[in-house]
Amino acid sequence: MKPDIVLLASGLTKQFGGFTAVGGVDLQVRRGSIHALIGPNGAGKTTCFNLLTKFLIPTSGTILFNGKDITRDNASEIARKGLVRSFQISAVFPKLTVQNNVRIALQRKGGDSFDFWRSSSVLRKLDGQVEQLLEAVGLSSFRHILAGELSYGRKRALEIATTLALDPEMMLLDEPMAGMGREDVERIASLIRRVSAGRTILMVEHNLSVVSSLCDRITVLARGKVLAEGDYATVSGNPLVVEAYIGTGGSHGH
């Protein structure tokens, strides 16, 4: 049986020269949860995220995915194991239609061979999957639009579709709401809630109202360390968290 803790980081540390950006972070992400990593500016969220998604190599510490050590794996190795970072691995091609972007993502998962294209039954199956994914992210009526012409929020929805095409067990989202207007934020939040069924999601997110309504569990980082952890009510009521946010002028750059 797979462990209840799908992603487990222990003593995760990253130093840049003499500066410790992340220092001894322990993180446990429970299977099936939506988990957020928050914290004031410079807390080490991005560095931590890059360590977990293998964009950076830790100075020390270990990362286990489904109980297996992935500390030394690269980004494509962990993607094959079911741990996929959205918005990076799933690049969107702006000159292709929405539909073809999803098709290519599915084709990648399928192995990308010549035989693949020759079999019409495989092609029909693929069409069905494209349809399902477009529907899942609310882009069915935009299928023939070039991806580059989509609004910002819909582009993000397309990125989620191309990530879902890989059918990841765990999705890592880097600030999914960054740069969005309120309407898009609500649309993407409900999309994330829908696609979280049967998966685990870890996200770095600055928008605290999104975090409060979407996430089951929140880890607050400050100065490269875990300051608090729990549900939103617990962490937002923690005086250390309030102080950390006030001390650095908040997380929104005001």
Ligand X SMILES: Nc1ncnc2c1ncn2[C@@H]1O[C@H](COP(=O)(O)OP(=O)(O)OP(=O)(O)O)[C@@H](O)[C@H]1O
- For residue 35, which of 15, 10, 52 has the smallest C-alpha distance? 52
Closest separation in Å from C-beta 56 to ligand X: 8
Point out which span in 1-9, 15-23, 162-170, 236-244 binds ligand X (CB under 6 A): 15-23
Residues in 104-133 that interact with ligand X by CB under 6 A: none
Question: Which of 19, 120, 141, 198 is close enough to bind ligand X by CB under 6 A?
Answer: 19
Closest separation in Å from C-beta 41 to ligand X: 4
DSSP string computed for 166-185 = T--SEEEEE-TTTT--HHHH
Closest separation in Å from C-beta 141 to ligand X: 35
Distances from the Cα of 157 to the Cαs of 88, 171, 223, in angstroms? 14, 14, 32
Q: Strand 170-174's sheet: what is its strand order? A: 83-85, 170-174, 200-204, 34-38, 217-222, 225-230
Closest separation in Å from C-beta 44 to ligand X: 4
Residues in 25-44 that interact with ligand X by CB under 6 A: 39, 41-44
Nearer to ligand X, 41 or 234 (CB): 41
Q: How many residues bind ligand X (CB under 6 A)?
A: 11
Residues in 36-95 that interact with ligand X by CB under 6 A: 39, 41-47
Tokens of 166: 């890989």
Closest separation in Å from C-beta 151 to ligand X: 24
Nearer to ligand X, 41 or 132 (CB): 41
Nearer to ligand X, 16 or 152 (CB): 16
**Element holding 20 (H helix, E strand):** strand 19-30
Tokens of 175: 């600030």
178 in contact with ligand X (CB under 6 A): no
Q: Rounded to the nearest 10 degrees, how much is the dihedral formed by the CA atoms of 229, 232, 235, 236? A: 160
Closest separation in Å from C-beta 39 to ligand X: 5
Secondary structure letter of residue 201 according to DSSP? E
| Sign, CA torsion 114/115/118/124 | negative
Nearer to ligand X, 122 or 208 (CB): 208
Distance CA 42, CA 40 (A): 6
Residues in 141-160 that interact with ligand X by CB under 6 A: none
Nearer to ligand X, 55 or 93 (CB): 55
Q: Using alpha carbons only, what angle is made at residue 89 by residues 86 and 91, rounded to the nearest 5 degrees?
A: 90
Nearer to ligand X, 180 or 195 (CB): 180
Q: Which residues contact ligand X by CB under 6 A? A: 16, 19, 21, 39, 41-47
